[in-house]
């Protein structure tokens, strides 16, 4: 079913909307949740929560890109689930790596330094749009889709070392930009 | 009040079009695989520039253009190289890796070899390169001035996409001045976990492959145009370049210039190119590629054409920016671009040396500002035929 038709079902409060959404995007969203959680039950729970969250958001929202819209919900739920569980269980190596990398880009700032949140997002988006196509794809696959280095290397047909170097360089670049923008 | 910027949360809010774009299947382009790396090796005050190109295969090239040689296909070289190419077909196996030497091109300035690898059960291909110290041409060792490194690819990805793993290794020399007739080549290839300058020690070399064969470089040599130029061109920082010599053939062309030395500040801070067109209207671009001697700067056409960051390769009208050797003249202009070094890339080498990579110009400069290139002086004409 077309995305616009699925969105219409949500707007008409037709409960088949959830089934249609699940039919079309469960594989896509499952991969996002699995990349972080590496646990079938947790990933399934995230998916169920995603469909019901979508029911809550639409209406009033009418997403322009439905895949990104539901993927974003799944990603947020998966991160929340991961945070709840990380204190009590041993983490998978991939998860430790990707979280560690994202932590490198997190920092504290005082309210005086604070940009409006929307401005920070614009800065990140501007950074992404100025990257070469391949670098942008690698960065988003790693930190939005939470893909493993191995999967990204396979996608781009290069060694894992190349991907690690590429990510490291662009993380440092983004960190410099964010710090400069926040402290400016 | 202290606040926490949490990247994982904030990154989740990026624009949906960016997310959707990365959600699509990715197509690897030639420009993503062929990449020229400019490194500087530093010890105390001395700076040595090193150029390394990592070559692989394109996902799209074979379907787009008809090539007469494997070397031409892999380098996307639009001129017909078949007259200059010799077929060797020798295979060596070491440490479960088999390398077959297929095509070889040799002239006074270049040794180019196409290599068909079989990596056995390996999932990731090691890097491949020609060992300068052990390779002999007519029994003599020559120090190359730039080299190409192959391999370093994910083999599963290549296999699943049906991509050929054959690669090309190219050494470039000052001027070997080869004798006429058959030339004996003792070729030594290395396979290693890292590109040569980052090999910490010999144990990181996985295998060494030795080939002996004879080849004639006469055809290419006979087709090479050599001409004295002796023309003065204004440069930057108070320098004048004296264009001394022009060498042209179907493979590559070179202009040697004097008037600067390897430790002049201008040369270390800027990369240079001579850009314009030949009398047939072909776009021409000679890049500064280091020094032939302490005070002789080399400008050369290169296998990768003249495109910045690989971003403007048009698959249907790929243009090498190599002049036609039969042209009557070339109209050229000197351009300079500030080299920006990536301090984050600094890597310690042996002894007191460390290496630093230049920033990718396409990330620093935009198309609107001509990728950072600015003209120095006016257009001038080099008369090739009187």
**Range of weakest confidence among A90-94, A132-136, B137-141, B282-286:** A90-94
- How much of chain A, in percent, has pLDDT values that exceed 70? 86
Contact A68 B152 (CB under 8 A): no
Q: Is the pLDDT of residue A56 over 80?
A: yes
Contact A128 B23 (CB under 8 A): no
Contacts A72 to B, Cβ<8 Å: 12-13, 16, 19
What does the pLDDT read at residue B357? 66
Q: Is the pLDDT of residue B274 over 90?
A: yes
What would the two tokens of residue B213 be? Answer: 């064969």
Q: Is the pLDDT of residue B44 over 60?
A: no
**Averaged pLDDT, B323-328:** 89
* CB-based contacts of A83, cutoff 8 Å, min separation 6: none
Structural domains of chain B, with CATH: 30-220 (2.60.40), 224-339+359-383 (2.60.40)
Helix (H, G, I), strand (E, B) or coil at A65: coil
Q: What angle do CA B86, B88, B91 make, to 5 degrees?
A: 155
pLDDT tens figures, B130-161: 988 899 999 998 887 777 777 776 677 666 66
| Beta bridge mates, B171 | B111, B147
pLDDT tens figures, A64-123: 889 999 999 999 898 888 877 765 555 566 677 788 888 888 776 665 555 666 678 888
Contact B1 A110 (CB under 8 A): yes
What does the pLDDT read at residue B208? 92
Instruction: Answer whether B118 touches A (CB < 8 Å).
Output: no
Contact A110 B17 (CB under 8 A): no
Helix (H, G, I), strand (E, B) or coil at A105: coil
Q: Is the pLDDT of residue B46 over 60?
A: no
* Nearest chain B Cα distance for residue A162, angstroms: 8
By CA distance, what is B363's nearest residue in A? A131
- How much of chain B, in percent, has pLDDT values that exceed 70? 71
What is the model's pTM? 0.60
**Averaged pLDDT, B101-108:** 89
Contact B363 A131 (CB under 8 A): yes
What does the pLDDT read at residue B33? 42
Q: Which residue has the higher pLDDT, A85 or B381?
A: B381
**Mean pLDDT of the residues in chain B:** 77
Contact B154 A130 (CB under 8 A): no
Check residue A60 and report its DSSP letter. Answer: T
Structural domains of chain A, with CATH: 3-86 (1.10.1740.10), 93-183 (1.10.10.10)
Contacts B14 to A, Cβ<8 Å: 121, 124-125, 128, 140, 144
- Taking residue B170's Cβ as centre, other Cβ atoms within 10 Å add up to 25
Instruction: Answer whether A52 touches B (CB < 8 Å).
Output: no
- Taking residue A48's Cβ as centre, other Cβ atoms within 10 Å add up to 12
Helix (H, G, I), strand (E, B) or coil at A78: helix
By CA distance, what is B125's nearest residue in A? A159
**Averaged pLDDT, B84-88:** 89
**A23 — pLDDT class (breaks 50, 70, 90):** very high
**Which of A15, A72, A158, A132 is CA-nearest to residue B15?**
A72
Contact B14 A125 (CB under 8 A): yes
Instruction: Answer whether A182 touches B (CB < 8 Å).
Output: yes
ipTM score: 0.78
A-to-B residue pairs, Cβ atoms closer than 8 angstroms: 149
By CA distance, what is B311's nearest residue in A? A132
Contact B23 A161 (CB under 8 A): no
**B12 — pLDDT class (breaks 50, 70, 90):** confident
**Averaged pLDDT, A129-145:** 89
Contacts B16 to A, Cβ<8 Å: 63-65, 68-69, 72
**Range of weakest confidence among A52-66, B73-87, B353-367:** B353-367
By CA distance, what is B24's nearest residue in A? A137
**Range of weakest confidence among A54-63, B46-55, B322-331:** B46-55
**Which of B185, B217, B194, B189 is CA-nearest to residue B91?**
B189
């Amino acid at each position: 079913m077309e995305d616009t038709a699925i969105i219409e079902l949500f707007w008409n409060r037709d409960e088949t909307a959830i089934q249609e959404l699940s039919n079309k995007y469960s594989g896509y969203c499952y991969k996002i949740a699995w990349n972080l959680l590496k646990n079938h039950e947790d990933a399934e729970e995230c998916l169920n929560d995603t469909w019901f969250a979508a029911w809550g958001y639409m209406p009033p929202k009418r997403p322009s890109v439905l895949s990104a819209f539901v993927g974003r919900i799944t990603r947020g739920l998966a991160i929340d689930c991961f945070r709840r569980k990380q204190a009590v269980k041993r983490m998978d190596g991939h998860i430790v790596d990707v979280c560690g990398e994202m932590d490198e880009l997190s920092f504290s700032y005082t309210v005086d330094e604070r940009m409006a949140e929307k401005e920070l997002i614009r800065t990140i988006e501007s950074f992404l749009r100025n990257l070469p196509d391949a670098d942008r794809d690698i960065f988003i696959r790693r930190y939005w889709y939470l893909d493993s280095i191995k999967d990204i290397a396979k996608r781009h047909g290069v060694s894992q070392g190349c991907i690690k170097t590429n990510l490291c360089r662009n993380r440092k670049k983004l960190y410099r930009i964010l710090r400069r923008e926040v402290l400016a | 009040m202290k606040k926490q910027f949490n990247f994982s949360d904030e990154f989740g809010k990026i624009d949906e079009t960016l997310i959707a774009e990365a959600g699509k299947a990715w197509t690897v382009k030639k420009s993503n695989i062929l990449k020229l790396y400019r490194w500087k090796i530093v010890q105390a005050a001395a700076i040595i520039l090193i150029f390394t190109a990592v070559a692989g295969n394109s996902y799209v090239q074979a379907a787009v253009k008809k090539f007469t040689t494997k070397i031409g296909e892999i380098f996307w070289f639009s001129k017909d190289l078949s007259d200059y190419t010799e077929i060797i077909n020798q295979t060596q196996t070491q440490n479960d890796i088999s390398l077959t030497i297929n095509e070889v091109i040799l002239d006074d300035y270049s040794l180019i070899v196409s290599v068909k690898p079989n990596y056995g059960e390996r999932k990731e291909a090691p890097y491949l390169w020609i060992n300068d110290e052990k390779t002999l041409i007519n029994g003599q060792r020559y120090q190359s001035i730039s080299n190409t490194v192959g391999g370093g690819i994910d083999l599963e990805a290549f296999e699943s996409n049906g991509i050929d793993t054959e690669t090309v290794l190219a050494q470039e020399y000052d001027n070997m001045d080869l004798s006429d007739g058959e030339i004996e080549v003792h070729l030594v290839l290395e396979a290693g976990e890292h590109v040569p300058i980052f090999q910490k020690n010999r144990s990181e070399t996985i295998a060494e492959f030795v080939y002996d064969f004879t080849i004639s470089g006469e055809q290419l040599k006979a087709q090479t145009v050599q001409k004295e130029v002796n023309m003065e061109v204004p440069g930057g920082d108070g320098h004048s370049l004296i264009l001394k010599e022009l060498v042209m053939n179907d493979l590559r062309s070179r202009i040697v210039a004097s008037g600067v030395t390897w430790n002049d500040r201008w040369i270390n801070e800027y990369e240079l190119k001579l850009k314009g067109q030949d009398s047939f209207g072909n776009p021409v671009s000679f890049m500064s590629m280091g020094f032939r001697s302490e005070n002789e700067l080399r400008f050369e056409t290169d296998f990768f054409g003249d495109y910045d960051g690989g971003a403007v390769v048009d698959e249907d009208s790929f243009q090498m920016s190599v002049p036609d050797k039969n042209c009557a003249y070339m109209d050229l202009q000197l351009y300079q671009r500030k080299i920006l070094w990536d301090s984050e890339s600094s890597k310690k080498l042996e002894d007191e040396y460390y290496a630093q990579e230049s920033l990718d110009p396409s990330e620093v400069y935009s198309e609107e500002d001509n990728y950072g290139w600015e003209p120095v002086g006016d257009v001038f004409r080099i008369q090739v035929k009187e």
